[in-house]
Structure 1
């Protein structure tokens, strides 16, 4: 791409210009998994969620195709979204998203703060460890894991993800609903075992 051939100062100018663009969504929670991702968003402009999600999928697909010298689409299923109209449901969805790595047995709940690809650490006082997580399931370093791993080696990327006050994640709304960040951590922890059991049950059900 043309970006790779720019001088360092020109790259920085370009990145700063992107950061100064008007926000089209508010991000409340996210989780990037080996073969899918979840986002909890509020639309700030008409078509904002659709545009934002499309930019993520198209941008990652282009990056992955160039890096691996391949052509064609990358994501099998189209982007899906559901509107949330109640605060209670909003909280439960945020918890479901943050527990995804635990539900999928990528990490145990005690290791969730070491999983760098969720917004969970933005909601707690404890800082995540500055190392990659130890995945507990074989074959977990597939598409997303393998492709995201090089990014985590970048000091700038690591600092961005590991900061408690991530500027791109709005934590105020959920913490206000829960009262304190400690209450939210307990809220998430109380569901971790049940969510794993629920996934096991769903595997035996027809949709």
Structure 2
């Protein structure tokens, strides 16, 4: 993965795996209150510009699978947010999209630092993003995100970790995610569960027919 460019611009309609982690050996989350606040801020800042297909929160990092909304929706939201600012018409949409993500992480960092009397940067210096370019990569990324708690020893089974979208899909209780895209990809909940029953150590997960 050494050749991956993690600094690519987020473009309208693009699908991406985005991730970040805490600086050094620090944690991003100490309790459920932290996690709920983090997700609420995501909905506030990023929800208007991107659909969320998968997510997972670990103690010191997070993973998301997102699709940026179409250009017209992004532009309309930019005009709403930047009303009265001349740069709204000329600022590239990719910059505005990244600004939404930055505002999200900054809002969380400020609240976290205040709560724990902490100073300095909470996250590493940039949000990593990887473009999803085909169905196989999409499937592998979805599996990677959902298996992360087991992979890192946080739990023994995917369905025993509360802080990932696997629970939303399995229980059909959609709070954060936009499920239609992934549901169409797998066809049935049974196929989705069968796909996620593959061994956690697999590097290349495949959709099970």
TM-score (norm 2): 0.59
Gaps of 5+ in 2: 1-39, 75-92, 204-209
Residue in 1 that maps onto 2:51: 26
User: Displacement, 1:76?
Assistant: 2.6
Is 2:62 the counterpart of 1:37?
yes
Aligned to 1:107: 155
Aligned to 2:133: 85
Deviations 1:143-178 (A, max 9, x none): xxxxxxxxxxxxxxxxxxxxx332430111112111
Structure-2 separation of matches of 1:92 and 1:74: 29
Q: Distance in 2 between matches of 1:33 and 1:116?
A: 10
Residues 1:124 and 2:132 aligned together: no
Of Structure 1 and Structure 2, the greater helix share is in 1
Question: Is residue 194 of structure 2 the alignment partner of residue 186 of structure 1?
Answer: yes
SS in 1 for 2:65: strand
Match among 146, 150, 157 for residue 98 of structure 1:
146
Query: For the residues of structure 2 that align with 1:77 and 1:175, how far apart are their CA atoms?
Result: 34
| Compared CA separation, residues 22 and 95, structure 1 to 2 (3 A) | closer
CA contact (8 A) 2:51 2:178 kept: yes
Q: Unaligned stretches of 5+ in structure 1?
A: 1-14, 126-163, 196-207
Deviations 1:84-114 (A, max 9, x none): 12122112101100100010011012xx323
Aligned to 1:63: 111
In structure 2, the CA distance between the partners of 1:99 and 1:77, relative to structure 1 (3 Å rule), is farther
Give how far 1:60 is off: 1.7
Q: Partner residue of 1:165?
A: 173
Paired residue total: 139
Cα distance, 1:36–1:43 mapped onto 2, change above 3 Å: same
Q: Would you tell me which structure has more strand in proportion to its own residues?
A: 2
